[in-house]
Homo-oligomer: A and B are copies of this chain.
Amino acid sequence: MADFELIKSLQIPAETKIVQLVMDGLGGLPRDLDGRTELEAAPTPNLDALAARSQLGLAVPVAPGVTPGSGPAHLALFGYDPLKYDIGRGVLEALGIGFELQPEDVAARGNFCSVDVNGLITDRRAGRIPTEMCRELVALLREIKLPGIETTVEAVKEYRFVLVLRPTAGQMLHANILDTDPQKLGVPPLPARAQDEASEPTAALVNEWIAAAREILRNHPPANSLNLRGLAKDPGLPKMAEVFGFKPAAIATYPMYKGVARLVGMDILPVAGEAVEDEVETLRAHWDRYDYFFFHVKKTDSAGEDGDFERKAGVIAHVDEVVVPAILELDPDVLIVTGDHSTPAALRSHSWHPVPTLLWSRYGRPDGVAEFGERACGRGSLGAFPAIDELPLAMGNALRLTKYGA
């Protein structure tokens, strides 16, 4: 799908509401004990009951066998072909901290790192310095001035920060520039290297900034150097309101996901804390004002990344207990429960495995399988399907697409 022209030509106004509940890294792998995945092992009476009334399938985020990053994986859930719409990491990081990126800005993700006396990298994450230290260092880096450029440096978390260059003299910046991070230890950081002629002046500015920054950091071990990654500009994606006719809102607690949501034109709703209970409160408070909600749960992914099967299953069980009934009580017209990708505890990382997905609507055709899990979804009538089909399917089920042709 991802044929936006088709969807745009068919979308019709409706009062119906769609909720897409995304448990980050939901998909898992079987444990030795009993062959169950995290989702299968978690007690999920509410999801199982919902599954019995839903269609099941396995969503393929990008392409078979391909492990997606968070940006592409979320774009796919939002209906945007991640192979067509590319968001640079720098842009994701900048949007993620709520930075109001302008079309002419160039953003980069910064990583503080440790180097030895010879300038060779000894720790690509500077010993995961506390966020507070990151903030202090970032304050120092704000002193660096570049000609004709307004520079913004913001702390993100631990060793991560964002750098944004904004031209103030009418010049055009270009961001076809490679990362400085060599992705290994024992070698020095690389210079920023332009990949086309247009990007050379920008690369020169970036290298000037890096040199000044390293001079400042020299006496601040373990964060005595830095790398820049994912230099990029706002890709100018079509907005959800235009493509799908939604009034869309995002409920998320982590910057990255709010950032991607903002890029496709969602309103980012305030959440009081980091708990899913806080997110549920936000959903309730804004229920009447939007017709599409992206509801993001982060901790499934974090637990998977930590290799903690039990904790991941626990997060899923908690979502089943707290989030699912609360959403159903609001009486949506369509509810999708899915993940952006798999993060099996066994792999401690994102993976290529397709993602268990459930689509409930009052006009659905249930598979009649009272279980939400990888194997149940593998036998579901949605089959192994591209994740970008989720929202068009939801729109059909929400009676938001008119007939194609006579």
* Chain A 375-406 interface 0/1 with B at a Cβ cutoff of 8 Å (1 = within): 10111111111000100111111000111111
Bound CA–CA A261/B89 (angstroms): 38
Chain B residues with CB under 8 A of A65: 1, 389, 392-397, 401
When all copies of this chain in the complex are counted, the total is 2
Known: A66-B6, A352-B396, A384-B381. A30 touches B82 (CB 8 A): no
Choice from B109, B230, B365, B405 contacting A29 with Cβ under 8 Å? B365
Chain B residues with CB under 8 A of A339: none
Known: A365-B353, A366-B30, A384-B381. A63 touches B392 (CB 8 A): yes
A189 located at the interface, meaning its Cβ lies under 8 Å from any Cβ of chain B in the complex: no
- Which chain A residues numbered 1 to 53 have a C-beta less than 8 Å away from chain B? 1, 3, 6, 10, 29-30, 35, 37
Chain B residues with CB under 8 A of A202: none
- Is A82 touching B385 in the complex (CB atoms < 8 A)? no
Min CB gap A97→B, angstroms: 13
Report whether over half of chain A's contact residues are helix, strand or loop; otherwise say mixed. loop
Nearest-CB residue, chain B, relative to A350:
B403
8 closest pairs, A vs B, by CB? A378-B381, A65-B396, A352-B396, A69-B405, A65-B392, A72-B405, A64-B389, A383-B383
Listed A/B pairs (14) with beta-carbon separation below 8 Å: A6-B83, A10-B66, A35-B366, A63-B392, A64-B389, A64-B392, A65-B396, A66-B396, A66-B404, A67-B402, A89-B405, A89-B406, A367-B379, A383-B383
Q: Which residues of A contact B (CB under 8 A)?
A: 1, 3, 6, 10, 29-30, 35, 37, 55, 57-58, 62-73, 82-83, 86-87, 89, 92-93, 109, 230, 344, 346-347, 350-354, 363, 365-368, 374-375, 377-385, 389, 392-397, 401-406
